[in-house]
């Protein structure tokens, strides 16, 4: 048997990071936890890696992400020396017609129950950010590379857009798991069929944009099932399609979504880079909804290190916000309820909890009663903030409303909020209202499926 070769690449990274073996193991465990993986690595595990042992996926991807966070530069799984095989689920960012084939094949695999299990295990990774130059649009692939009959019409694209609106509404009402695979199947079959047909350039651009928006929505729903690696892949494919259509507005929107995902996973530097790229991609767009949408995310990201810049972004977002287009469909408008929620998050990060509470209350006031998922998450967020400030009864009132909505939801974020409720209220289990909520939460707790 050939003896193992010491992993010099990993040793060099550990030295550069200034970590002990135990600290690297702790960082890997923490990253795994954000993606639903219960890992128990320790310094002994890292010692084995340093002597040449190669752990199975997704460990090399998590190790690479840990070093990327620590060192502030991109570290690939290959650079860790823990694998010699490129990640087959590495998000697609290169561009070209292959993105369409990747999307159709990925969606077909996602619909298949057996193959879906493999996709669900994909891991979120930090990758290079593609940059789009508004002055040099991409060449449009006007003819498909595979045979089909008929030509795409404006009616075909409008049908895709209407069905997209229905899926978006369903997700807001019931969470990401409901109808997620139905959307994947729709993209694979109906959108895929249209992508394989010839079309005039202007219709093909609209088709690519609309398919990218459907893919973006599928990424949102996938993220809400807790499958962050697969969601990232869909986001990047959506970004690719928007780039092929030379639609910088949609590219900026998807980059912003990627920033939100990175931020929620704790990759704050990457979230900053992504939202900066989104702002740059949008350029001096006259679209006030998009401008406000981007600035509120940049404000949240900046709040951690640059409070004055964050406040300036919030003010700028408010000034450019246009109430008249706020209620338009997905990707067309920025609802006031969403803007107020994001404003609350930023104000909370800035330490202004009273103003944050007011913003979240405004978000509730503007939110339609049918949108159970965002309503539930907002009530949970207010409850958590109120309890931190010592307002137990008020917090319990909001958590009670959260639990009223929860039975209708199949959402990883809502499921995590339910767990936070139990964690935060446990010290108050002798309080009658808190005790009743804990009993309700225990009855409602159910495993979160990812299909």
| pLDDT tens per residue across span 188-204 | 999 989 988 889 999 99
What the block records as the tokens of 328 is: 């338009």
Residues 376-410: pLDDT tens digits? 999 999 999 999 999 999 999 999 999 999 999 99
In tens, the pLDDT along 105-133 reads 899 989 988 888 778 778 888 888 876 65
3-state secondary structure 375-418: HHHHHHHHHHHHHHCCCHHHHHHHHHHHHHHHHHCCCHHHHHHH
CA 346 to chain centre: 18
Model confidence, pTM: 0.83
Residue 307 CB burial class (10 angstroms; 0-12, 13-18, ≥19): middle
Q: Is 73 exposed, middle or buried (0-12, 13-18, 19+ CB in 10 A)?
A: exposed
pLDDT in tens, 157-186: 999 999 999 999 999 999 998 899 999 999
Question: Could you tell me which of 132, 149, 152 has the C-alpha nearest to residue 201?
Answer: 152
pLDDT at 95 over 50: no
């Amino acid at each position: 048997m050939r003896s193992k070769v010491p992993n010099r690449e990993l040793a060099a990274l550990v030295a550069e990071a200034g970590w002990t073996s135990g600290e690297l193991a702790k960082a890997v465990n923490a990253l795994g936890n954000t993606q639903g993986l219960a890992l128990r690595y320790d310094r002994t595990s890292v010692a084995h890696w340093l002597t040449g042992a190669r752990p199975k996926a997704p460990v090399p991807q998590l190790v690479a992400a840990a070093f990327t966070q620590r060192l502030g530069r991109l570290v690939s799984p290959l650079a860790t020396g823990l694998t010699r095989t490129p990640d087959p689920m590495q998000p697609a960012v290169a561009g070209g017609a292959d993105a369409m084939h990747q999307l159709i094949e990925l969606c077909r695999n996602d619909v298949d129950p057996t193959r879906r299990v493999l996709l669900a295990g994909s891991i979120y990774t930090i990758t290079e950010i593609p940059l789009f130059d508004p002055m040099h649009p991409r060449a449009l692939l006007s003819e498909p590379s595979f045979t089909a009959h008929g030509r795409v019409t404006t009616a075909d694209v409008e049908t895709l857009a209407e069905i997209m609106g229905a899926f978006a509404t369903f997700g807001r009402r019931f969470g990401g798991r409901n109808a997620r695979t139905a959307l994947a199947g729709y993209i694979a079959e109906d959108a895929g069929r249209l992508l394989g047909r010839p079309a005039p350039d202007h219709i093909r651009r609209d088709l690519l944009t609309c398919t990218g928006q459907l893919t973006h929505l599928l990424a949102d729903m996938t993220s809400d099932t807790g499958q962050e690696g697969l969601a990232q892949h869909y986001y990047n494919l959506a970004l690719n399609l928007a780039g092929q259509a030379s639609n910088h507005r949609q590219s900026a929107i998807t980059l912003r979504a990627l920033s939100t995902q990175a931020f929620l996973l704790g990759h704050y530097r990457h979230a900053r880079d992504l939202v900066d790229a989104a702002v740059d991609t949008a350029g001096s767009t006259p679209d006030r909804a998009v401008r406000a949408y981007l600035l509120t995310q940049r404000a949240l990201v900046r709040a951690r290190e640059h409070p004055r810049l964050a406040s300036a972004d919030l003010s700028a977002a408010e000034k450019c916000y246009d109430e008249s287009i706020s209620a338009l469909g997905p990707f067309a408008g920025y609802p006031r309820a969403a803007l107020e929620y994001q404003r609350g998050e930023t104000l909370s990060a800035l330490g202004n909890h009273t103003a944050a509470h007011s913003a979240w209350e405004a978000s509730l006031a503007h939110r339609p009663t049918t949108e159970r998922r965002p309503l539930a998450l907002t009530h949970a967020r207010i409850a958590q903030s109120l309890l931190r400030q010592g307002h137990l009864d008020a917090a319990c009132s909001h958590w009670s409303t959260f639990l009223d909505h929860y039975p209708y939801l199949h959402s990883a974020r809502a499921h995590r909020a339910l767990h936070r409720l139990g964690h935060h209220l446990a010290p108050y289990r002798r309080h009658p209202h808190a005790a009743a909520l804990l009993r309700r939460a225990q009855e409602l707790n159910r495993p979160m499926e990812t299909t």
